[in-house]
Amino acid sequence: MRRSTVLPAVAAACLALAGCGGGEASGEPEATGSGTSVTQVSLGVLPLVDLAPIYLGVEEGFFADEGIELSFTTAQGGAAIIPSVLGGELDFGFSNPTSLILARSQGLPVKIIAPGGSSTGEVGADYGAVVVGPGSDITDAAGLAGRRVAVNTLRNIGDTSIRESVRAAGGDPDAVQFVELPLPDMAAALQTGQVDAIWVVEPFLTGALAQGAVPVAWNWIDVSPDLMASAYFTSEQRLQEDPDLVERFATAVARSAEYAQENPEEARDVITTYTQIPPEVVAEVTLPGWEPEVNVDSTQRLIDLALEDELIESEVAVEDLVAESAR
């Protein structure tokens, strides 16, 4: 059943950009008809399942309760969001912690202010994994050494977490041959033998499993069972100029995360409103965990791995990366 319905839908529409409206950073309050001030806030996002809570939070009025009117700017990739936030075009952005660690190591003043999606901590039921094709002789993470493994971005959270899986399984993490491929192209590359394994997140994980792929590593869990795999961030300048706005935004994000965690079917429903992932695929995907607080410990683990795997030359202090109000 999954092969006949989920696979074609994934192949046709996975992770296509939704028609979300853009917005310029403002952070300026505007008076409403009732005299209550509302702050227009712009957020740079990606069409990923991680973001379901924030869209639910808008629907449920959690941001309105904090005097925030949120507008979304959907980016083609996370690399475009960081400079837009630092340049003041966006108030807040969404990224993975390793991208922000790399930015901070380069002297860019980014600050994590709220959590995004987290690993479920359940082997066999996480929303990202390394998979191989049916019949592969790779049976565990150690077997990835010396093989071609596709990641969506080189020298980022994918390859450093996979190295940790290989290391933990007794293999040589430095022997893995990473290949950069867009997520929509990975399943075909695996089928044709262009690569030996692929690292995929939802909804591509569900699509790959429907094609008979076999998980050999749950790399986020190997880093930390409760790994915070994505986060919301802002610039130091925004944080210094308007700490009250940052606090209100983080409060709304926390309420949204708790609501999504308690109402997974509503989270699934909202995913279809900001992505073009078909409902039949959304019904099958494994949802992230959503926590109300920034996981400082798992962020430190990613900093340690980035240093060990030479993604960064010197250690980034977690206190510099994560805003004090979020620790």
pLDDT over 60 (residue 6): no
Single pTM value for the model:
0.89
pLDDT over 50 (residue 194): yes
Please compute the mean of the pLDDT values over residues 175-192 and round it to a whole number: 96
Tokens representing 69? 């009117």
Greatest distance between any 2 Cα atoms in the chain: 67
Where residue 80 falls among pLDDT bands split at 50, 70, 90?
confident
Please write the tens of the pLDDT for every residue from 275-288: 999 999 999 999 99
> 39, 245 in Cβ contact below 8 A?
yes
pLDDT over 90 (residue 291): yes
Q: Does domain 2-119+227-326 have CATH number 3.30.420.40?
A: no
Tokens representing 220? 């986020």
Q: Which helix (H) or strand (E) holds 200?
A: strand 197-201
Tokens representing 9? 């839908």
Distance (Å, rounded) from C-alpha 123 to C-alpha 46? Answer: 26
CATH code given to domain 128-223? 3.40.190.10
Q: Give the residue extent of every domain in the chain.
A: 2-119+227-326, 128-223
Domains 2-119+227-326 and 128-223 share a fold: yes
With H, G, I as helix, E, B as strand and everything else as coil, classify residue 89.
coil
Please compute the mean of the pLDDT values over residues 237-256 and round it to a whole number: 97
> 323, 239 in Cβ contact below 8 A?
yes
Q: What's the confidence (pLDDT) of residue 78?
A: 74
Where residue 202 falls among pLDDT bands split at 50, 70, 90?
very high
Q: What's the confidence (pLDDT) of residue 77?
A: 72
Q: What's the confidence (pLDDT) of residue 27?
A: 59
Q: What does DSSP assign to residue 18?
A: P
Percent of all residues in the chain with a pLDDT value above 90, rounded to a whole number: 87
